């Protein structure tokens, strides 16, 4: 019975020791700790093996993220913003513009403009062209899931290149939609005319 009780106490102690937070430093080093408080400039923590309960302080600039024992994480925004500088470091505005153009070619589809334009031109062919013109002239929306890296949207040269190429692609898709709509309408007219002429 004593051994069984000792085993239960040992397992309970092990669970307490394993339940701890992890501080991930900017250098990549992981530090097991019990995080007590995160202030504006510091992270206050205790070492899990410390019997004296000394509260230690670490500057927030040295901390990339805190993984809490319950599975949640807190990433400090200053480091996310700094990574944009690392991404664009050494790139000229022309290179960033070209990268935006390449991303728009790869990720922006513009299918909504094509089908909207097709519907507009199909409903009333000559009048529907005005709707297709408006669809093609409307600037495209830049969505976060249509870029290679969302952080690049913070760079103006990249954003300008992306928007220019996406607008060109959207105009092309709207023009293709006019062709689709006009083709469908022309096909329907031919079908109706052939049906009427074949009737006795």
Domain 21-77 coded CATH 2.30.30: yes
Report residue 190's pLDDT band, with 50, 70 and 90 as the boundaries: very high
For residue 188, the tally of other CB atoms under 10 A from its CB is 11
Alpha carbon 111 to its chain's center = 20
- Phi, psi values for residue 17, rounded to 5°: -70, -35
More confident residue, 177 or 150: 177
Token pair belonging to 194: 């052939």
- First vs last Cα of the chain: how many Å apart? 104
List 56's β-bridge partners, or say none. 45
Quote the DSSP letter at residue 199.
-
Q: Where are the beta strands (DSSP E) in 61-113?
A: 63-67, 73-75
Average pLDDT over residues 6-35: 71
Mean pLDDT over all residues of the chain? 81
Q: Any idea where the domains of the chain sit in the sequence?
A: 21-77, 89-198
Alpha carbon 55 to its chain's center = 38
Token pair belonging to 142: 């830049």
Token pair belonging to 62: 């040295």
Cβ-based neighbours of 21, under 8 Å, separated by 6 or more:
32, 33, 34, 35, 45, 66, 67, 68, 69
Report residue 39's pLDDT band, with 50, 70 and 90 as the boundaries: confident
Residue-level pLDDT at 176: 92
Instruction: Quick: pLDDT tens for 78-95.
Output: 654 455 555 667 788 898
Residue-level pLDDT at 160: 92
∠ CA 72-75-77 to the nearest 5 degrees?
A: 150
b/e per residue 151-165 (b: at least 16 CB within 10 A): bbbebebbbebbbeb
| Residue with tokens 């500088």, as numbered in its chain | 85
Report residue 165's pLDDT band, with 50, 70 and 90 as the boundaries: very high
Report residue 169's pLDDT band, with 50, 70 and 90 as the boundaries: very high
∠ CA 180-181-187 to the nearest 5 degrees?
A: 90
Residue-level pLDDT at 167: 93
């Amino acid at each position: 019975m004593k051994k069984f009780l000792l085993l239960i106490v040992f397992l309970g102690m092990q669970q307490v020791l394993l339940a701890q937070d992890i501080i991930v430093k900017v250098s990549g080093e992981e530090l097991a700790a019990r995080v007590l408080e995160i202030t504006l400039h510091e992270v206050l923590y205790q070492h899990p093996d410390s019997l004296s309960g000394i509260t230690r302080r670490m500057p927030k600039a040295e901390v990339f993220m805190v993984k809490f024992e319950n599975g949640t994480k807190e990433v400090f925004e200053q480091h996310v913003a700094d990574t944009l500088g690392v991404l664009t470091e050494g790139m000229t505005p022309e290179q960033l513009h070209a990268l935006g153009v390449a991303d728009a070619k790869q990720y922006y589809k513009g299918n909504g403009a094509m089908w909207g334009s097709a519907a507009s031109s199909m409903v009333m062919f000559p009048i529907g062209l005005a709707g297709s013109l408006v669809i093609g002239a409307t600037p495209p929306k830049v969505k976060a899931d249509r870029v290679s890296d969302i952080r690049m949207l913070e760079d103006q040269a990249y954003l300008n290149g992306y928007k220019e190429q996406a607008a060109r692609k959207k105009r092309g898709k709207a023009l293709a939609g006019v062709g689709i709509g006009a083709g469908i309408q022309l096909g329907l007219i031919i079908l109706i005319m052939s049906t009427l002429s074949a009737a006795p």
